[in-house]
Amino acid sequence: MDYLEKLNTSQRQAVQATEGPVMVIAGAGSGKTRVLTYRIAHIINKGIDPFNILALTFTNKAAQEMKERIGKIVGGSEARNIWMGTFHSVFARILRSEADKIGYPSNFTIYDTQDAKNLIKGILKEQGLDDKVYKPGLVLSRISAAKNNLITPQAYLNNTSLQSEDTQSAKPKLGEVYKIYSERCFKAGAMDFDDLLFKTNVLLRDFPEVLYKYQHRFKYILVDEYQDTNFSQYLIVKKLGAVLQNVCVVGDDAQSIYAFRGANIQNILNFKNDYPEVKTYKLEQNYRSTKNIVAAANSIIVNNKEQIEKNVFTDNIEGSKIKIYKAASDNEEGKIVANLIFDKQLSEQAKNNDFAILYRTNAQSRAMEEALRRKNIPYKIYGGLSFYQRKEIKDLLSYFRMIVNPQDEEALKRIINYPARGIGNTTIDKLTIAANNNNVDLWTIITNLNQFNTGLNSGTQSKIQSFVSMMNSFRVQLEAKNAFDLGNEIASTSGILKDLYSDRTPEGISKYENIQELLNGLKEFTETENEFEEDVTPRGLTEFLQDVALLTSADNEKDEDKNKVTLMTIHSAKGLEFPYVHIVGMEENLFPSQMSLTSRIDLEEERRLFYVAVTRAEKEAVLSFAASRYKWGNLIFCEPSRFIEEIDDKCLEYMFSETTQAPRSQNNYETSSSNGYYSKPKNTLPPKRNEPPKIIHTTPKNLKKITPNISTNQDSAANLDLNVGTRVQHQKFGQGLVESIDAGKATINFISAGKKQLLLKFAKLEILN
Ligand SMILES: Nc1ncnc2c1ncn2[C@@H]1O[C@H](COP(=O)(O)OP(=O)(O)OP(=O)(O)O)[C@@H](O)[C@H]1O
Ligand SMILES: [Mg+2]
C-alpha cells in the first residue's frame, strides 16, 4: 500500500473512505484530482472490477492520463477497463447500445456546433425568420439552455414565462424553432452535444430496467471538476448513484467558470441535501505553486462575495513575485512575452512545454503566434479550430458519416455538391421542401426521385442518381473493409483528392496535406489492435467516427506537439499546470470582459476565471497588458485590468514606470528582416510539388503483431457448443450473451464490456447455461 504514503492525511482519508457519498471541495492545486486517481486505484486494489467504476473528467485527455497513472499503481492492464471519460463520451457510448429504446439508430451521428448552426440557419430560412434577429448562435444557446435544464420543446412551448421572455426580445418563434430543430435531428438520426446528456436522462427516466442495469453496473461513481456540472449532468449522477450511493465528487466553487454554459454551482449545495450522510474532506495544502502565487491567488478570490470559505497554504518556496509588463500595443505584448520565454529558456534551461500563454479570447492568439514564430519558438494552440473542424476534413468526414448513417442531413448537404457535380442550392432547396412536405429525410427523397414530386428536370435527376450510386457503392463495403481502405477509396473516388491537388496555393497544399494526415490517422486506427487476439471487433469507419466525434479540443495532441509552448484560453486550461504561465491581455473590457461589467454575478465569474489562470502556475506567473489594441479593425486605447489592483501588492513587481512607455526588456527585441517578413519554421514549409499525389502510410512503431497460437486453443473451441442465446463467461469481458455466429466468429454482448466480435478458435469461453 505504499501509494497511500504519497498522500497527506486528509487526502488519504478521502481515498480510503470508499463506501458511501464523499465530497471534496478544496482550493486549486490541493490534490483533488490526485485524490480521485488514487481513490480509483484503491478501489481496484480492494478487488472491485474496473468495469464497475465510472469516472467523469473534464477532457478525454485528462481521463487518459488518469488511466495511465492508475495503471502504474495497480499494475497490469486492468485500468483500461474503467468507464472513464467526459460526460459526453461516456454517455454517447451508453446511448449507442441502448439507442433503439428511444427510437434512434445505434450508429446515430453526433452533430457538432457547426452542424447544429447550419441546421438552424436552414430552419430560419424555411420559416421566413430574419437571422439578424434570430442569430443562429443565440438560438442555439437558447436551445442548449433548455436541454440542459431538461425542458422539452413541448414544455418550452407551454411555458408562459419562457414565451413572454422570447416575445419581449422580439423572438416569439424560438420555441417553434426548437421544436422543428429537435424533429429534424431525430429524423436525421443525429444528436447534438446537449442531446447526449438530455437523451441519457430520458433513457434513465423512461426505462427503469435500463436505469437498474447501470445503477448496478456502476458500483462506484467519481466526478472531477464537479463545480462545472450542469443540471442535466447533475441529474444523471444523482440517478445512477441513487441505490448504492458510492458517489465521490471533487471540485472547487472558486473555479466555477462555465455558468454561461449552464453550469450550476448549486449542485455542490444540492449534493449535501441529496446525501445527508455525505462525508466531506478539506484539503488545504497547495502542492502546485510557490508561496507568492498562492498568496496572490488568495488575495484575488477574497474579492468575491459568493464563496465557500477555504484556507489554502503551501510549504513550497517563496518564489519570485508576479511580474507585470506594459506594452504599447498587442503586437508589442507578443514580442515581450516571446522574449521573456526565450530568456527564461536560456537562464533556466526551461523546455518549451514548461510555458503556457493564457488569454481570455481566442482572437488574442494571433499577436502571440506571430511573435513566437519570429523567435522560432515552437507552439501549439488549443481550441480555436481543431483539426477535425477544418473544412476539408469535415468534407471527407461527411462522406464517412453518410455512409454510416445515410439519414445524416447536414453531412448530405455538405457533400452532395462537393466536389462540384452540378447540384446547386436551388436543387437542394427543392429536395428539402419535398422532404418536409412528405415528412421523410433527404436520403429517402434522393433514392426515390421518381416517387416524389420534386420539380427537378431529368438532367438534374440523373446527376443526383449518380451521386446516390456512388454513395451506395461505398456503403456496401462498410462491413467488409477496414477504415483505412474504405476511407482511402472514398477520398479518391469522390474526387476530393483530385480537387485539392489541383489547388496549388499554399492553402490548397495545406488542405491536401491535412487529408493525407487524416488518412494516416485512419491507417493507424485500423492497425491498432484490440487487446485480445480473439477480439476481432472490426475497426471500420463506423468505429472510427465514434472515436472522432467526441474529441475535445484538448484531445488532439500529437506526439510532435509534446515539446511546444501551449497557447490556450483560460477556460480550457482548467485542471492543468505549467511551471511558467503568462496571462496576457490584462485590460478592462477584455479581462474582465465587457459583457461582464454590468452585473456582480458575471464579474465574479470573471474573477474566478482570473483565479483559475493564476493558479495554473507552478513557479512563475507573469501578467501583461497593452495600452492599445485593434478590435474589429479599430485601434482602441486600453486601461489596465482592475484585477491587477486587486492582487496584494506584496506579491507584485511592476516592470515599467509610467514615464517610460516601453518595458525593460525592450532592448532584446529581435529586429525583423529587411523585407519585413519572418522565416517560418522549417517543418511548416510546403513540400515540393513536382511529384504525383501520394498517400503516406505510417505504421505505428510499437505495434504488437499477432502470432496466432492455434494448436493450444483449437481443441477447446471445437468442443464449444455455442448457439445464439447461449450465456458465456469470458476471462476478461465477463458474462455475455451470444447474439450471432458466423464463419467462426461470434458476436457477443457482454454485460460490462459491451458488444464484441470474437474469433471462436481463440476465445477462451465457458458456457454458463
Ligand atoms: N500529497 C502530495 N504530495 C506531493 N504532490 C502532491 C500531493 N498532492 C498533490 N500533489 C501534486 O500537486 C499538484 C496539484 O494536484 P492536483 O492537480 O491533483 O490538484 P487539484 O486540486 O486537482 O487542482 P485544480 O483545482 O487546479 O484541478 C499535482 O502536480 C499533484 O501531483
Ligand atoms: Mg484537478
Distances (CA, A) of 360 to 613, 648, 746: 10, 22, 52
CA distance 251 to 28: 9
Pairing of strands 83-85, 53-56: parallel
Q: What is the pLDDT of residue 719?
A: 53
Condensed to tens digits (0 to 9), the pLDDT of residues 58-79 reads 888 888 889 999 999 998 788 8
Ligand 1, atom 8: closest residue by C-alpha: 31
Query: Is 605 in the active site?
Result: no
Same fold, 3-102+197-285 and 109-188: no
Q: Which one is catalytic: 166, 194, 195, 225?
A: 225
Which residue has the CA at smallest separation from atom 28 of ligand 1? 288
User: Do 74 and 46 touch, CB atoms closer than 8 A?
Assistant: no
Residues less than 5 Å from ion ligand 2, measured at CB: 32-33, 575
Q: What is the structure's pLDDT at 660?
A: 41
Closest CA to ligand 1's atom 2: 7
Nearest CA to ligand 1 atom 31: 34
Query: How many angstroms does the Cα of residue 25 sit away from the middle of ligand 1?
Result: 14
Nearest CA to 552 out of 61, 13, 21, 28 is that of 61
Name the pairing type of β-strands 22-25 and 247-251: parallel
CATH architecture of 387-531: Orthogonal Bundle (1.10)
Active site residue 729: no
Which residue in 215, 227, 229, 255 is the catalytic one?
255
Q: State the cell numbers at 369.
A: 503566434
Spans of the chain below 70 pLDDT: 1, 383-386, 530-532, 552-560, 632-633, 658-720, 752, 769
Closest ligand by atom to 616 CA: 1
What do you get for the CA distance between the two ends of the chain, in Å? 40
CATH number of 322-386+557-654: 3.40.50.300
CA of 74 to the centre of ligand 1 (A): 20
Consecutive H or E run containing 56:
strand 53-56
Q: What is the DSSP string of 377-414?
A: --EEE-SSS-GGGSHHHHHHHHHHHHHH-TT-HHHHHH
319 a known binding residue? no
Ordered by start, the domain boundaries in the chain are: 3-102+197-285, 109-188, 322-386+557-654, 387-531, 726-767
Q: CA-to-CA distance for 20 and 641, rounded, in angstroms?
A: 45
Catalytic residue among 11, 33, 59, 454: 33
Measured CA to CA, the distance from residue 414 to residue 294 in angstroms comes to: 50
* CA–centroid distance, residue 194 to ligand 1 (Å): 31
Q: Which residue's alpha carbon is at the smallest distance from atom 11 of ligand 1?
A: 287
Tell me whether strands 279-281 and 734-742 are parallel, antiparallel or unpaired: unpaired
C-alpha cell at 481: 473493409
Q: 373 Cβ partners below 8 Å, 6+ apart?
A: 678, 680, 681
Residue with cell 477497463: 81
Q: How far apart are CA 5 and CA 457, in angstroms?
A: 77
Query: What is residue 698's three-state secondary structure?
Result: coil
Hey, what's the cell of 34? Answer: 490526485
**Atom 30 (ligand 1) nearest CA:** 31
pLDDT for 265 equals 80
Distance CA(575)–CA(224), nearest Å, equals 9
User: What is the pTM for the complete model shown?
Assistant: 0.80
Say if CB 246 and CB 40 are below 8 A apart. Answer: no
Closest CA to 383 of 353, 356, 401: 356
Angle at Cα 158 formed by Cα 153 and Cα 159, nearest 5°? 95
CA of 37 to the centre of ligand 1 (A): 11
The CA-based diameter of the chain, rounded to the nearest angstrom, is 90
Q: Which residues line ligand 1 (CB under 6 A)?
A: 6-8, 11, 28-34, 252, 255, 287-288, 575, 577, 615
Tell whether residue 79 is among the known ligand binding residues.
no
| Phi, psi (deg, nearest 5) at residue 38 | -70, -35
Q: Is 132 annotated as a binding residue?
A: no
Is 144 annotated for ligand binding? Answer: no
Q: In what order do the strands lie in the sheet with 83-85?
A: 83-85, 53-56, 220-223, 247-251, 22-25, 279-281
Q: Per-residue pLDDT tens for 157-189?
A: 999 999 998 999 888 999 999 999 999 999 999
Dist. CA 492 → ligand 2 center (Å): 45
> Could you identify the atom of ligand 1 that is nearest to the CA of residue 612?
26
34 CA: nearest ligand 1 atom: 18
Pairing type for strands 190-192 and 247-251 reads unpaired
How would you class 334 by CB atoms within 10 Å of its CB: exposed for 0-12, middle for 13-18, buried for 19 or more? buried
Q: Is 717 annotated as a binding residue?
A: no
Q: Which fold has domain 3-102+197-285?
A: Rossmann fold (3.40.50)
Cα 368 from Cα 357, distance rounded (Å) = 8
> Which class for 627: exposed (0-12), middle (13-18), buried (19 or more C-beta within 10 A)?
middle
CATH code of the region 109-188: 1.10.10
Does 199 participate in catalysis according to the annotation? no
The string of DSSP letters for 635-682 reads EEE-PBPHHHHHS-GGGEEE---SS--S-GGGGGPPPPPTTS--PPPG
- The answer to whether residue 32 is catalytic is yes
* 615 CA: nearest ligand 1 atom: 26
